[in-house]
Structure 1
Amino acid sequence: MAGSVDRVRDALTAAGHADAIVTFPASTRTAADAAAAVGCEVAQIAKSILFRAGERPVLVVASGANRIDAAKVSRIVGMSVERPDASWVRQVTGFAIGGVAPVGHLTPPVVLIDQDLGKLDRIWAAAGAPNAVFETRFDDLVRISGGQVADIAEG
């Protein structure tokens, strides 16, 4: 996993973002786990969910408080999306599920950023391993990921 975290660190540095990676002894795999470890609200966790549009990876970075509406994601990318299996996630991103970061992917994905994250001051995102996160701000997250801000939440 160290290589995955290093890849995120390198991507952050290359993008001019501070190396704000923090590792924890326990897993931060779920938004609730990450929020508990960091000491923040679940909404401040920028969870990364990978979809598959044919062979193209689509990364949705959503507020930990939101469920993602796959139909909205499909409309935005212009094709049907599905949830891939763990081996495909690792193959195209280089990350294990639970550690998928918004940067540092082996195959650059289409990135959609949940507009609700824009309401928050500080955001924490996965940093390449199930026990690593980094702190960022909404504008920086959009900039470093090359993401498109979108309405992707259910409801």
Structure 2
Amino acid sequence: MNPASTLAMNIDTSLPESAQRVARLLAEAGHDKPVVMLPQTGKTSAEAAAGLGCDVAQIAKSIIFRRAADDAPVLVIASGANRVDERKVAAQVGPLAKADAKFVRDKTGYAIGGVCPIGHLTPPVMLIDADLFALDSLWAAAGHPHAVFNLSPQQLEAMTGAPVADVALRD
């Protein structure tokens, strides 16, 4: 049996299709943690943290922007405890515009609330919130508003290849 068919056999087929796609990507990357379905939505960091019993800071939320110059998707993976400072992001990637739900789905393949850090239809420009590296364990969306997976900040950086930056809005 080839490795691809072995991976396919280990994917939980009860997961929604988009979460199965993420589970396959994670397995192909050698990630050993499963995709977990929350009983209630994890569309917001607070909802996801409540469902997981973890601190809101441990939610690695995926925020999509649209780069104004070329309509490229810009993905910022931020701590659930932080608001993203768009000025800091723009200083790194160029002027930003809002991304509506259609843009997010068309560019990522995921609905808002389930945007995974990996597996985008159009590879995004990416930044990872430096504050995530103060934590040992993170939870990220797995392609569906109820689906998440566990990883370390170092695994997130390795999976995405994204640079780490200060993106948090500070008072």
Q: 1:123 aligns with which of 138, 141, 157?
A: 138
Q: 2:128 aligns with which of 84, 90, 113?
A: 113
Give the secondary structure class of the aligned counterpart of 2:149.
Answer: strand
- Match of residue 95 from structure 1: 110
Give the secondary structure class of the aligned counterpart of 1:97.
Answer: coil
Is 2:57 aligned against 1:43? yes
- Match of residue 7 from structure 1: 21
- Deviation at residue 25 of structure 1 after TM alignment: 2.3
Structure possessing the higher radius of gyration over alpha carbons: 2
CA distance in 1 between counterparts of 2:73 and 2:168 reads 19
Give the secondary structure class of the aligned counterpart of 2:17.
Answer: helix
- Deviation at residue 13 of structure 1 after TM alignment: 1.6
Calculate the TM-score normalised by the size of structure 2: 0.87
Query: Which structure 2 residues correspond to residues 24-103 of structure 1 after superposition, within 5 A?
Result: 24-53=38-67, 54-77=70-93, 79-103=94-118
Root-mean-square deviation over aligned CA pairs: 1.1
CA distance in 2 between counterparts of 1:6 and 1:107 reads 19
- Deviation at residue 2 of structure 1 after TM alignment: 2.1
- Deviation at residue 82 of structure 1 after TM alignment: 1.7
CA distance in 1 between counterparts of 2:64 and 2:109 reads 12
Amino acid at match of 1:80: P
Q: Percent identity?
A: 53
Q: Is the 8 A contact 1:9 1:19 kept in 2?
A: no
- Deviation at residue 3 of structure 1 after TM alignment: 2.4
- Deviation at residue 20 of structure 1 after TM alignment: 2.2
Q: Is the 8 A contact 1:31 1:64 kept in 2?
A: yes
- 4+ aligned runs moved over 2 Å, structure 1: none
CA shift digits 1:92-137 (9 cap, x unpaired): 1010000001011111111110000000011000000000100000
Amino acid at match of 1:74: A
Is 2:67 aligned against 1:18? no
CA distance in 2 between counterparts of 1:15 and 1:135 reads 14
Calculate the TM-score normalised by the size of structure 1: 0.95
Structure 1: which 5+ residue stretches go unaligned? none
Q: 1:141 aligns with which of 146, 156, 159?
A: 156
